[in-house]
Structure 1
Amino acid sequence: MLPPSPENSFQSTHADLLITSFQRLLGRPLAANPEALYRADAVVLSHDGAADPVLTYGNLTAQRLWGMGWDQLTKLPSRLTAEPAHRAQRDAMFAEMRSKGFIENYSGVRISATGQRFEIQNAIIWPLIDEDGIKRGEAATFTDWQML
């Protein structure tokens, strides 16, 4: 079940975009449906296409890892998922993804709401492009992380 919210329609539509854009770009499934995506063991996050992107999606695993509920996580500027010292590396990763179409095997240090640092490993980063070819944001998924 998706989180309780008046925006469940957006959440379901956005989850479909995550699933279909991943399949289209990488040629393999991310999840069977929005419910499976929300409850997946893998972390799945996305942000919008603003100049200072804000997170638009974080499944339950992402919420637990960052120590935030849906409402808090989806108001967070994406850059704040990393400490200032690690933001240049994060920016370089997004630049590489934009030039290549998507990237796999990304690793980087992130920080939770409680200040717990962790390293994500083997992350896949891809653009969220809808059926009309319009870019709606960017997303990441990973199953490997290590608390620091």
Structure 2
Amino acid sequence: MTSKLITPALILRSHLSLIPKESQVLSAETISDAATILATAPFPVLSHTGTPTSTNDPTFTYANARALSLFQYPLEEFIGLPSRLSASAGTDRDVREVMMRNVAERGYSLGVTGVRVAKGGKEFRLVDAVVWNVMDEDGVSVIGQAAALVKVDGCPWYKEE
């Protein structure tokens, strides 16, 4: 697990530098506005430490209010939760891990789909998500991964904008 802090600025900077402009779902005039941009995004944005490996079990480090509403966790319970628990046990978790490892190698993935799990075991479907690596301050090392859950379905408790 990494000890480097994943900040909104690093999440946004990594999104803007790794994802082709035509596929970016976040934008910014300046990185100094990153906390506000992520907090007010019209969809859930979240991040976790490192990348999934046999020796690393990433934990959530950031979630905007929309992500907390979707996953139905208070911030203090969500931060530090192993991110693998956001996918249903079995096949969905295995597929998610393969996708996250591909992101670690390629830098990002577009059009991500799958079944995810809110607190209490309520399942919902990712219809369209963007996942990318979060790079350190120097833009050299991967310190985490982030996701923008642009479209979800099957979650009547959550209201999309």
Would you say same fold, with TM above 0.5? yes
Whether contact under 8 Å (1:121, 1:145) holds in the other structure is: yes
Pick aligned residue for 2:146 from 130, 134, 139: 139
Displacement of 1:123 in angstroms is: 0.9
Displaced runs of 4+ in structure 1, greater than 6 A?
A: none
68-77 or 30-39: bigger deviation: 30-39
Of residues 46, 68, 72, the one that matches 1:67 is: 72
Residue in structure 2 matching 1:80, options 66, 77, 85: 85
Structure-2 change in CA distance of 1:31 and 1:76 (3 Å): farther
Paired position in structure 1 for 2:127: 121
Aligned length: 137
Unaligned stretches of 5+ residues in structure 2: 156-161
Partner of 2:159: none
1:45 aligns with 2:38: no
* TM-score, with length taken from structure 1: 0.85
| Mapped partners of 1:126, 1:14: distance in 2 | 14
Instruction: Give how far 1:31 is off.
Output: 4.3
8 Å contact kept, 2:16–2:27 = no
CA distance in 1, matches of 2:98, 2:143: 20
Q: Which residue in 2 is equivalent to 1:96?
A: 102
Give distance in 2, aligned partners of 1:128 and 1:99.
Answer: 12
Identity, % of aligned positions = 31
TM superposition shift of 1:39:
2.4
Larger RCO (alpha carbons 8 Å, 6+ apart) = 2
Of stretches 28-37 and 80-89 in structure 1, the one that deviates more from structure 2 is 28-37
What TM-score results when the alignment is normalised by the length of structure 2? 0.78
Which of 26, 33, 41 is the aligned partner of 1:30? Answer: 26
1:55 aligns with 2:51: no
Contact 2:114 2:125 (C-alpha < 8 Å) held by counterparts: yes
How many angstroms does 1:96 deviate by?
2.0
Letter in 2 for 1:145: V
